[in-house]
Amino acid sequence: MQGKAVVVFSGGQDSTTCLFWAMQNFDEVIAVTFDYGQRHKLEIECAKEIAGELGVEHHILDMALLNQLAPNALTRDDIPVQAGEDGALPNTFVEGRNMLFLTFAGVLAKVKGAKHIVTGVCETDFSGYPDCRDVFIKSLNVTMNLAMNYDFVIHTPLMWIDKAETWALADQLGRLDYVREKTLTCYNGIKGDGCGECPACILRRNGLEKYLTQKTEN
């Protein structure tokens, strides 16, 4: 693919893998990170550091209103991270986050003359988040095209793969060690392999162990 792409970038495993994917597939890549009052400011610093190391143009947009509207475990120190029970969403779900992030990424993309938007949402390991579903992405893509009269294409490289396959993709891109060591996925704000105990770390570790086992066997 040719052209320019904007990557929704948090500095985590998924978005960093998507950033490397975009760098391989597009002529020019711009990263955009959203400051929505997340619990760990290190997440933003991590994104800045990675973008700087890779020489990628990087924008940080203020989305503090999201914190005000949708307080949860990712935006409040006094709310412990909890898994959903009886089919309920985990309390790490931020209402409307991906809808807003992608919409603002679209505004930036149009201003920058980019037709492509890349996001790391995934329906395989998505914890039930409704705004990670493929049907939502396709719907928003149409809405954004109509709202801005612009031919956006939203790319979701991770949509149909699990965490082990996400690690495999990072490895195929020659960036497995970089993603493992430099990214921040942990809900407790610890880079790399993280705390090892929160839901994000468990999902990440299980995926890595599965991939490394498969790689050894093959």
pTM over 0.85: yes
Residues in the chain: 218
Helix (H) or strand (E) holding 34: strand 28-35
pLDDT of residue 9: 98
pLDDT of residue 148: 98
pLDDT of residue 117: 98
Percent helix, percent strand, percent coil in the chain, to nearest 5: 45, 10, 40
List, in order, residues 6 or more apart from 91 with CB less than 8 Å away.
72, 73, 79, 81, 82, 84
pLDDT of residue 84: 46
3-class DSSP state of 132: helix
pLDDT of residue 78: 54
- Residues of the chain short of pLDDT 50, as ranges, are 73, 76, 79, 82, 84-90
pLDDT of residue 70: 56
List, in order, residues 6 or more apart from 174 with CB less than 8 Å away.
none
pLDDT of residue 1: 74
pLDDT of residue 124: 80
Q: Which of 184, 170, 177 is nearest to 48 (CA)?
A: 184
pLDDT of residue 38: 74
pLDDT of residue 135: 95
